[in-house]
Amino acid sequence: MLNPMSNRWSLVIPVKTLVAAKTRLAAATGPHRTRLAVAVACDTVSAALACPLVARVIVVTADPAAAGPLSVLGADVVPDPDQGLNTALRTGAAHAVRVAPGDPVGALQADLPALRPAELATALTAAAEFDQAFVPDALDVGTTFYGVRAGLPFTPRFGGESRSRHLAGGAKELCVEGIESVRRDVDTPDDLRAAMALGLGGHTAAVVADLWPSG
């Protein structure tokens, strides 16, 4: 069995241009939509950086309004070539390999506002046992994490029904207990309420308090 602490992970987190972010939350969030998108990304990045198995976080974005706050948190920000999500992820992964060629590389969605460092560590420990692995989203349709061992091809297949594409590509689906916060991405008001039930990070909680002051 591999020692998961022998190499800590480089995690690549893609952040959309804010004008295009969280459009399905527009009706519920109104003028707070872009602020919420930044807050959610900040909580995701903060939790990832706090995970003991994460060596670095590489944010891929074309939006300076997101790049600034995420850089302040400690993320390494690289420009998004604006050729789609998976190209953005491959761009971040290439940067990670240049920085730390001996470390495993993972892609993590940016919309995990309830993410817990300990739960992410559980997922990364499980992923370290396989050449490539992924975590399905809470609906078992999409993907929230995809990772590969050091030196292996990084072939993310995010977007839409990505769970089936990652399975077809030979990645191991990680069905482990206690990683609910890793699976709970947020695209809709119902998703946000489900994340609230798990416990939001501080940045997102502050925006939600303005959205729904009564709780």
Known binding residues = 143, 159, 162
Cβ proximity of 173 and 165 under 8 Å: no
Query: Computed over its alpha carbons, how large is the radius of gyration of the chain?
Result: 16
Residue 34: Cβ within 10 Å count:
18
Q: Output the six-digit token pair for 132.
A: 């490539």
Starting at the edge strand that comes first in sequence, how are the strands of the sheet with 9-15 ordered?
Answer: 76-79, 54-61, 9-15, 105-108, 143-148, 132-136, 172-173
Known binding-site residue numbers for phosphoenolpyruvate: 143, 159, 162
Q: How far is 56 from 77, CA to CA, in rounded Å?
A: 11
Q: Any residues with CB less than 8 A from the CB of 198 and at least 6 apart, and which?
A: 114, 180, 181, 184
Q: How far is 28 from 145, CA to CA, in rounded Å?
A: 27
Q: How far is 114 from 98, CA to CA, in rounded Å?
A: 30
Q: Any residues with CB less than 8 A from the CB of 68 and at least 6 apart, and which?
A: none
